[in-house]
Structure 1
Amino acid sequence: MDALRIIIKQNSANYRKEEAMDNKMTYPLPPISTIIGAIHNACNYREYHPMDISIQGKYESMHKEAYTDYCFLNRTMDDRGILVKMANESMLSKGFEKVATSKKQGSDMRTGLEIQVHNAELLEEYRSLKNLNDKIKKFKDTRQKKFLEITKKRKKRLSEKKKKLDKKSDEYKKIAAREKEIKRYENKIKTMVKEFEEENYTKLVSRFRTLTTSLKFYEILNNIELVIHIRSKKETLEDILDNIYNLKSIGRSEDFVEVVEANIVELLENNDCDIESEYSAYLDYNSVINEEIYTKAKAGKRINGTMYYLNKNYKIEDAKRIFNKKKVVYASKYCIEKTSENVLIDRNGKKEYIVNFL
């Protein structure tokens, strides 16, 4: 069986775990989807090319690296953070212009207390909108509220009158028509106020947001060596080989790679053997459970390692990505006694790799 063997080195990398929020934890090796995505990007593929991946490798150490996290709140807060005006209120673009910065807690963007002004014109626009909102609120709490209370009382009196009348009488019909007229007028006032507020305040103020910052951390792996095997159609393997030096990074965009070697190799099948890997790897769970691969298990345990559910590829259903997930065991010091359908051997001179496709 032919496969493409790629040996890669990275000075550092973060293979971010999807569930990590506050601090960006890393997988010990790049996930399957990360490798497939990087390969597709290098080849400029716009559609998925089916492939199976074997991922193994090692790293020297891990450290934490600080970074400043920027978070846009869905509202504005006058006493903290950085007041900004977004380029687009729907956040399709995250471009923004600074308006003012709070110097300390207890500052006030509207009065100018303890703030640093970056754009006086935009700050005045923001204050005008907030002043208008106060007027709208006051109008609702006074004149509109009073009007609605009056109409409520009128509707109640008319309803009580209707109860005493025959539904077929002319007077009943007049009262019912008057009720409808009051309701129409009531709805008209509500709609007018709502539309005025939407057009003159809500839409305009939605472009102003509070930007907050916090110190967070990346987990960074150091001095990484990856051994990746790819099984696919011959044309796809050759295409990847031709474009392998377009592969610039794996993980973050700044996690650059050095492609040490890339060759199409023949994997050994139907072999009895006794091989122990010098690398850690993602191993297919079923291959481990079925004892096609053995891990160094502690007493009373069948296997030893960390279980992950890793994304491989996806399909679009109802405008959503539905991922094909693989159940894997991350383990080191694993060995095989013979090959199987998904567990093969790549012999490179005196070096032998256990290849477990996912």
Structure 2
Amino acid sequence: MKALRIRLQQSSANYRKEESDTNKMTYPLPPFSTVIGALHDACGYREYHPMDLSIQGKYESMHREPYTDHCFLNSIFPDRGVLVKMRNPELLSTAFEKVVAPRKSKGCDFRIRADANIFNEALYQEFIDLKDLNNQIEVFKNSRIKPVLEVIKRRKATLKSKKNRLDKKSEEYLKLNRREAQIKATEKHIKDEFEKYKENHYTKPISKFRSLITSLKFYEILNNIELLIHVAAEDNILEDILNNIYNLKAIGRSEDFVEVIEAKIVELVQDDDCDVTSSYSAYLDYRDIKKGLLMPTNIGDETKGEGGTRYGLNKNYQIIDGKRIFNKKSVLYLSEYCIEETSDRVWLDRDGEQAYIVNLI
């Protein structure tokens, strides 16, 4: 079988685990979807081109690297973070304008200028006007709307009491019923108009203002990484990757740059009688481990199971009903393993005296 062998080096990288947040943990090797995405980007592909991968490698050490995380709160807290105005909140944009920050951490009131460090006077005044308007709306609600609704409530109770004493088929009952419907319609109109005014003049405009806070979080960073990747695909795809391999800039984060050491089309071979031990860690197909096609060599008395770490890794995805549905692969990450014979998914890449085990997934 023809395949493309790619040897890469990275001084550092984070292959982020999707479920990690405060501490952005890393996989020991880049997942299939990460490598496939990087190769597609290097080739300028805008749709998925089928390929199978074997991902192997090793790293020297790991450390934690701090970074500042920015988070927008849904509510406004004058003593927490910086008040900002979102430019396009309807489009999920993260662009914003800084408005004001508190001068002290407790007991802050943005309407008191002595408490406020103002960055944008116009937006600050817009925010203050909205807060003042909200106070006026609440005063109007309590002084004008609420008394009217109380009168309506009492009137409805009176009508209900009268109706309970009448025959439902009588003319007087039907007259009271029509009057009750009119009163309910008036009540609904008053409530709807009030809420409509508040929504348009306060709720929507104030929703563009958010509290921006920062927190210290950490990346797990792998150091001095060596990657050995084999790609099996149609000949034209292999040629595209080979011709564009130096467009491959990073794997992991955008700052996790790669150095291409080698890119070469090779012939993978089958050998029914071989005894090869890998010098790399790798993602191995869990089915092949269970079948004994790939054998861990580091299982001892203190090691349980298959001697590695099992992952469910994304490979490619389909969009179904507007959602990305990933094709997940069950793999075992092993640092030491060997084979005694090849199979339909386990091949050898012989490079002089060196032989690489290639488990295509």
Match of 2:116 in 1: 115
Q: Cα distance, 1:330 vs. partner? A: 0.7
**Structure 1 position 331 matched with structure 2 position 327:** no
Go from structure 1 to structure 2 and tell me whether the alpha carbon gap of 1:153 and 1:335 turns closer, same or farther (over 3 Å shift).
same
- AA at the equivalent of 1:38: A
Q: Cα distance, 1:113 vs. partner? A: 4.2
Deviations 1:110-166 (A, max 9, x none): 223433211122111101111111222233344322222221111111111112222
Tell me which stretches of 4 or more aligned residues in structure 1 moved more than 6 Å: none
User: Aligned runs of 1:98-177 on 2, under 5 Å?
Assistant: 98-106=98-106, 107-177=108-178
User: Aligned runs of 1:264-303 on 2, under 5 Å?
Assistant: 264-295=265-296, 296-299=298-301, 301-303=304-306
Match of 2:31 in 1: 31
Q: Distance in 2 between matches of 1:207 and 1:12?
A: 39
Deviations 1:229-276 (A, max 9, x none): 111111111111111111111000111111111111100114321111
**8 Å contact from structure 1 (residues 65, 220) kept in 2:** yes
Match of 1:67 in 2: 67
Q: Distance in 2 between matches of 1:298 and 1:305?
A: 12
Deviations 1:164-220 (A, max 9, x none): 222232221211111111111111111111111111011111111100001111111
Deviations 1:47-87 (A, max 9, x none): 11111111000111111111110001112111221011111
**8 Å contact from structure 1 (residues 6, 263) kept in 2:** yes
Q: Distance in 2 between matches of 1:62 and 1:321?
A: 32
TM-score of the pair, normalised by structure 2: 0.96
For structure 1, which segment, 294-303 or 269-278, has the greater mean C-alpha deviation from structure 2 after superposition? 294-303
Q: Distance in 1 between matches of 2:321 and 2:329?
A: 22
**8 Å contact from structure 1 (residues 65, 219) kept in 2:** yes
Unmatched 5+ stretches in structure 1: none
User: Aligned runs of 1:125-274 on 2, under 5 Å?
Assistant: 125-274=126-275
Match of 1:353 in 2: 356
- Secondary structure at the counterpart of residue 98 of structure 1: strand
**8 Å contact from structure 1 (residues 78, 110) kept in 2:** no
Q: Distance in 1 between matches of 2:159 and 2:269?
A: 92
- AA at the equivalent of 1:200: H
Aligned length: 358
Match of 2:307 in 1: 304
**8 Å contact from structure 1 (residues 3, 231) kept in 2:** yes
The share of aligned pairs that are identical, in percent, is 58
- AA at the equivalent of 2:208: R
Aligned Cα root-mean-square deviation (Å): 1.4
